[in-house]
Amino acid sequence: MENKKFISIIWGYSTHMYTFAPEENYHLHALKVAKDLGFKTHVIVKGNKENIMRDPHFDTDTEVIDYKNNFQFFFHIIKFSFQNSLFYVNSCEWQSFIIPFLARKTIFMAHTQPKRQTRLKQKIQNFVYNFFTAVRLNNEKEKEFLLQQGIPEKKLFVIPLVVSRDVFKLTDTHSERKDLVYFGNVTAVKNPITIIEAFKIVIEKYPEIKLHIIGEIFEKEFLDKIHQYKISDNVILHGYKKQDDSLSQLLNTMKISLNSSISEGQCVAIYDTALCGCVLCLPNIMSFTGVFKESALFHDVMDYKKMAQNIIYYLENPALVKKHQAENIEMIQKNYSLETVESNLKKLILKAK
């Protein structure tokens, strides 16, 4: 396999990933698995290749190629396609959808659910998926959806991302948990306003409760709403935190983890909070319903009243909290371990090569 090349297409590499638990860095993990199988690994990234090369966990055996324009991008794709290469393509960009028409061996991994927001986008995605060698999915619900869309089953592989059991774990089983947490950067697609609207209702019944925000805030309206509702004393902004034992300890003091995303792939942050003992209030999208099923409470994406009801229901039903806490930890440890995911990813790469 010495002549085999594994080409990872990365549209942008965030420096936040430097502090990820190594196995949760999905870009570097795929490269590691390919290298373990004997592939020579390469990354094609749009501009600023230093971002990935400066990651302390980056393997310097991997060649990084950056490009400045689409002409350069297509040149590299065509060049590698003649060199016995397997392309691993991340994200739903139009450039991603060109690759299976320029290369013979391709794996696609979207980081959003496969249900598109318009009928036209869905048709385009379905058409292109038929030309990828394989499509990596996060859960069975996504697979069922794509089967209904007419994608051949032989192309669909459910292989979720790794969730770090080394960093995120249940360490505090005695303290009384009472607060809420949102873990992740605050962006528009995360729909943070619904969380604030729900929290405002919860405060009316539980005025001492706190909402902890762990992550950078990129949605200005989020802060505006906090001030508008005069709930600043109940919202604690921690900012971005490194994924280490101190973060795990902080999550171990929380009771309920919140999310109301419009679209998600596999939101690893939710799994991290669950491993630390938080129960989950989640939006009714396949990224979550296809995994947590009966072990979380769900609301429609914009339904802040139902979300508030779910939060209050957990606060008032400690037996359900204990039950869901145990079920989620057991499920994640079984299905999202490094060993399980790596084994299945190796099988997929070898099959696609």
pLDDT confidence of residue 297: 98
Per-block mean pLDDT, blocks of 10 residues, the chain (353 long): 84 88 92 96 91 95 93 94 93 86 94 87 94 95 95 96 92 88 95 97 97 95 95 96 91 97 92 97 94 96 98 97 97 94 96 89
Q: What is the DSSP string of 287-337?
A: HHHHHHTTSSEEE-TT-HHHHHHHHHHHHT-HHHHHHHHHHHHHHHHHHS-
The Cα–Cα gap between 326 and 49 comes to 42
Record: fold of 179-335? Rossmann fold (3.40.50)
Q: Do the domains 5-162+337-352 and 179-335 sit in the same CATH topology, yes or no?
A: yes
Contact between 55 and 28 (Cβ < 8 Å): yes
Q: pTM higher than 0.95 for the full model?
A: no
pLDDT confidence of residue 185: 93
Contact between 112 and 263 (Cβ < 8 Å): yes
Per-residue pLDDT tens digits for 224-271 = 999 999 999 999 999 999 888 899 999 999 999 999 999 888 999 999
- Residue 88 DSSP SS3: strand
pLDDT confidence of residue 194: 98
Record: fold of 5-162+337-352? Rossmann fold (3.40.50)
Per-residue pLDDT tens digits for 151-166 = 999 999 999 999 998 8
Polymer length in residues for the chain:
353
- Kindly provide the b/e burial profile for residues 117-136, where b requires at least 16 CB atoms within 10 angstroms of the residue's own CB: eeeeeeeebeebbeebbbbb
- Residue 342 DSSP SS3: helix
Name the nearest CA neighbour of 92 among 107, 73, 112. Answer: 112
Q: Domain segments of the chain: what residues?
A: 5-162+337-352, 179-335
